[in-house]
Amino acid sequence: MIYTHIFEEAAARLKNAKIQDYILGLDYIAVQTDAGSGMAYTFRNEVSAGGLANIMGSDLRGENALKIAEKYYFSSNSFEAGIGLAVINSALNNRASACKDFLHPDTFRGKKVGMVGWFRPMLDMMKEAEADLKIFELKDIEGTYKPEAAPEIMPHCDVVLITGVTFINKTFHTYTPHIGKNALKIILGPTTPMSQHLIDGGWHLAGSKILDFRAAADCIAHGIGTRKVKGAVEKVWI
């Protein structure tokens, strides 16, 4: 399955790497390994009543990165899986942009768009583009569709956007069978793994690369958007 492919792609770079540092923020997790730095969304609602200490057990610094990635990424707990994906992203998300920003109104103008995940910044863009937008969302948000509606709606979409968070809660594969063969396919958000397997599968990636781990970690710890601190994180377009 796709999740195993992504793990295996990162494994060679993580095999002899150690975790140097990490931060578990309310919105994002960031991990620095010998292979690089990576981010992933925080499913804080899946932190148990016992708190982080009950999940972590011990400090991850100095631990083998591959061992931690495997232990956490395939956990059924999405908070733990987010830690694992952040470790994986430390190995994968070191690419430079291969093209210009494609998330602009002209990409979606007059198109039928299916979007998995509630991306508020995208809503204004879709309105400007006069796109026929259908949003699939697990949470109960007015005007959105549940994932179960994808088989009926998604095959008719000209463009499909899927949040990288689906690689944490392992729902990505539930949407892909319903995407039309001629649709433009985009995975977006800081959690997006910059996987060659995804690129070879015809996906365009709109993710992020950590440039300065300390600056990014400071933003996450203090609830400041990483884009507001120059030199912390940059967007990557593939």
Confidence at residue 53, expressed as pLDDT on a 0 to 100 scale:
53
Q: What total of structural domains would you count in the chain?
A: 2
* CATH code assigned at 175: 3.40.50.11590
Regarding whether 219 and 199 lie in a shared domain, the answer is no
Closest by CA to 116, choosing from 44, 167, 76, is 167
Please indicate, yes or no, if residue 233 is contained in any of the structural domains.
no
In a domain, 148, yes or no: yes
Confidence of residue 149 (pLDDT cuts 50, 70, 90): very high
Domain for residue 13, yes or no? Answer: yes
Residue 182 lies in a domain: yes
Residue 238 lies in a domain: no
Do residues 46 and 117 both lie within one domain?
Answer: no
Model confidence at 134: pLDDT above 90: yes
Confidence of residue 84 (pLDDT cuts 50, 70, 90): very high
- Indicate whether 110 and 201 sit together in one domain: yes
Residues 57 and 132 reside in one and the same domain: no
Spatial separation of the C-alpha atoms in residues 35 and 120, rounded to whole Å = 32
Lowest mean pLDDT among 47-56, 76-85, 87-96, 156-165: 47-56
pLDDT band at residue 48, thresholds of 50, 70 and 90?
Answer: low
232 found inside a domain: no
How far is Cα 176 from Cα 171, in angstroms, rounded to an integer? 10
The pLDDT tens digits of the residues spanning 169-182 come to: 999 999 999 999 99
Mean pLDDT of the chain: 91
> Residue 11 belongs to what domain range?
2-94+215-224
Query: In CATH, what number is assigned to the domain containing residue 47?
Result: 3.30.390.100
